[in-house]
């Protein structure tokens, strides 16, 4: 996607804003309800924006929600697009670049993920400390537009340490259990085989999903701060108690909604401290 197309999309958001946005939220499967808690929400359907990639997955409403929380102007995404829907890696990060062009500099990424670590149970929350890109793809492949950032962006601190520390602090104050772990990104849409899960475990992954990695790579090239949180919605294939079903993923995410929303709310409330 070209700079001009993203600038058009960003303009579609900017004219709905009352002030410069500070935070962008990407809300994954079953987690989009947090956007409904924003003050004076304004809705912008993805399909209303020319050339914008539109979600096709059940549980993704496919719209931006613009509003405020604790005095912070927020652009939230209720649903995202994925590589498995037929979009290119660059298409997948079109919304991230659009929010950046609209003014967002801090990005919260959420997702539903399968738990690889034995101790994880459906409904647990995991703070992403790092990721492993298992997709064989990268949104930065191809000609580089220097306006988006350097050709070779570093990924040593892909998930901002200060934001992670803040999330852990808030979780302790709220008495919310927040695990920490490494997220493995796969293309999907098929769930992983037991052998693939054993491979991911061997290389250090604690959870696995089909999103987030491309978005983080693009955001870091843009210089954005990134916080990532996974809702563990199922045990991964081959583990005792594994149930691999998209309806179940959404149902578990819904059951974790209150803890998830309380945690996000607390992080936003204290964001001014870092």
Catalytically active residues are: 29, 60, 82, 84-85, 112, 210-211, 234, 246
Would you say the C-alpha torsion 78, 82, 84, 87 has a positive or negative sign?
positive
DSSP 8-state code for residue 54: -
Q: Is residue 176 a contact partner of residue 151, using CB atoms and an 8 Å limit?
A: no
Q: Is residue 118 a contact partner of residue 239, using CB atoms and an 8 Å limit?
A: yes
- Residues composing the chain: 274
Q: Is 152 exposed, middle or buried (0-12, 13-18, 19+ CB in 10 A)?
A: exposed
Would you say the C-alpha torsion 106, 265, 262, 60 has a positive or negative sign?
negative
DSSP-derived secondary structure for 194-239: HHHHHHHHHTT-SEEESSSHHHHHHHHHTT-EEEEEEEEEEEPTTS
Q: Is residue 270 a contact partner of residue 162, using CB atoms and an 8 Å limit?
A: no
The C-alpha angle with vertex 187 and arms to 52 and 215, in degrees rounded to 5, equals 50
SS3 state of residue 262: helix
Nearest to 218 by CA among 120, 89, 114: 89
């Amino acid at each position: 996607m070209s700079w001009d197309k993203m600038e058009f999309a960003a303009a579609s958001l900017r004219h709905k804003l009352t002030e410069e946005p500070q935070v962008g939220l990407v809300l994954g499967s079953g987690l989009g309800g947090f956007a409904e808690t924003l003050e004076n929400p304004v809705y912008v359907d993805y399909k209303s924006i020319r050339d914008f990639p539109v979600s096709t997955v059940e549980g993704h409403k496919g719209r931006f929600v613009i509003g405020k929380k604790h005095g912070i102007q927020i652009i939230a995404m209720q649903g995202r697009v994925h590589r498995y829907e037929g979009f290119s890696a660059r298409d997948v990060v079109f919304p991230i670049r659009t929010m950046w062009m609209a003014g967002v500099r801090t990005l919260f990424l959420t997702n539903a993920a399968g738990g690889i670590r034995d101790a994880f149970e459906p409904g647990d929350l995991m703070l992403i400390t790092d990721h492993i890109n298992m997709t064989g793809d990268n949104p930065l492949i191809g000609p580089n537009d220097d306006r988006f950032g350097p050709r070779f962006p570093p990924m040593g601190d892909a998930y901002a340490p200060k934001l992670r520390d803040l999330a852990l602090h808030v979780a302790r104050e709220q008495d919310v259990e927040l695990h920490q772990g490494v997220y493995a990104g796969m293309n999907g849409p098929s769930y992983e085989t037991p052998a693939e899960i054993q491979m991911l475990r061997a290389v250090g992954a604690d959870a696995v999903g089909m999103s987030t990695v491309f978005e983080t790579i693009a955001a870091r090239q843009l210089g954005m701060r990134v916080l990532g949180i996974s809702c563990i919605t199922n045990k991964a294939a081959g583990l005792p108690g594994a149930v691999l079903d998209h309806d179940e993923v959404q149902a578990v995410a819904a059951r974790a909604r209150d803890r998830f929303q309380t945690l996000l709310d607390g992080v936003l409330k204290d964001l001014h401290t870092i």
